[in-house]
Amino acid sequence: MARTIAVSGTASGIGKTLAGLLREQGDTVIGVDLRDADVCADLGGAEGRAEAVAQVLDLSGGTLDALVACAGVSDFTELPVKVNYFGVVALMEGLRPALARARAPRAAVVGSIAGTHPADDAIVRACLAGDEPAALEAAAKAVAAGAGSRTYPSSKAALARWMRRACVTPEWAGAGIPLNAVAPGVVKTPMSAPLFEDEAMLKVMNEAVPMPLNGYAGPEVIAEALRWLVSPANTHMTGQVVYVDGGAEATLRGPDVF
């Protein structure tokens, strides 16, 4: 049976690949992105988030079978906090009632292996408290102190913790909505392309994300994992961060973390 699925980040990378896979199997996809999408909106601000939710609700008729948040940024500014955490959470919460109206709703977010890397505690705390001004202030302080590289891991760590907290609540599990995350390692997408062009950055990346199984992934690898997580076949998996990372998480954290 064809389903209606909203996917953010469909203009490129993982989101674009996932949208293609879903359409190939007969689903209707409502793509959300800054441009080249069914819904063009900026998830970095409250106005854009509200507009994205409103347009998806309009295009879906108020009922969604699945929702996947792929949109994200990876620079060393405050932007990852705006988009990767507050943008994703606003989209998920804003469209949750539409999911609850479906017969077999599913939801997933895209995390990152970077969520296991050192984070800024003040950013993470403020994110989980839902205090965006405080989170952005903490991120600005980190950037000013030369620790801008922690804003991206912080946004992804906070998102994973939000997902773990929300997934078992009456609003999600109680409404029959599995909520999970896929955490990729290094994926060859337009977002990561600059890293491959800089030998020094490539060396740092390989040390930070060692991938002993088959090396770097293509976007289709992550998209396939997301496709299963939001399929009707997934009836009982919720609250899981699925590391599709070539063994990076197991290498970095070792066998005692599971």
pLDDT, mean over the chain:
96
- Structure token pair of residue 27: 């689903």
Q: What is the pLDDT of residue 16?
A: 97
- Structure token pair of residue 1: 């049976």
Sheet holding 66-69, edge to edge: 39-40, 28-33, 4-8, 66-69, 106-110, 179-184, 241-244
Q: What is the pLDDT of residue 193?
A: 77
- Structure token pair of residue 25: 């199997």
Whole-angstrom distance, CA of residue 72 vs CA of residue 222: 14
Residue of 85, 152, 216, 243 marked active site = 152
For 56-86, the pLDDT digits (tens) are 999 999 999 999 999 999 999 999 999 999 9
**144 with 77: CB under 8 angstroms?**
no
Q: For residue 196, what pLDDT band results from cuts at 50, 70 and 90?
A: confident
Assign 41 to helix, strand or coil. Answer: coil
- Structure token pair of residue 160: 């994973």
Q: What is the dihedral of CA 57, 124, 164, 176, to 10 degrees?
A: -20
Q: Which of 254, 66, 72, 253 is nearest to 178 (CA)?
A: 66
Q: What is the pLDDT of residue 238?
A: 98
For the chain, the helix, strand and coil percentages under 3-state DSSP, each to the nearest 5: 50, 15, 35
Active site residue 152: yes
**209 with 4: CB under 8 angstroms?**
no
Does position 168 have pLDDT exceeding 80, yes or no? yes
Residues linked to residue 4 through DSSP beta bridges, in sequence order: 28
User: Who contacts 92 (Cβ-Cβ below 8 Å, separation ≥6)?
Assistant: 67, 69, 107, 109, 166, 179
Q: What is the pLDDT of residue 198?
A: 80
> First-to-last CA distance in the chain?
36
Residue 157 φ/ψ region, left for φ over 0, alpha for ψ in the -120 to 50 degree band, beta for the rest: alpha
For the segment 119-130, the average pLDDT, to the nearest whole number, is 98
For the residues of 1-38, what is the DSSP string, one character each? ---EEEEE-TTSHHHHHHHHHHHHTT-EEEEEESSSSS
Q: What is the pLDDT of residue 147?
A: 96
For 136-154, the pLDDT digits (tens) are 999 999 999 999 999 999 9
User: Who contacts 254 (Cβ-Cβ below 8 Å, separation ≥6)?
Assistant: none
For 198-221, the pLDDT digits (tens) are 888 788 888 899 999 998 999 999
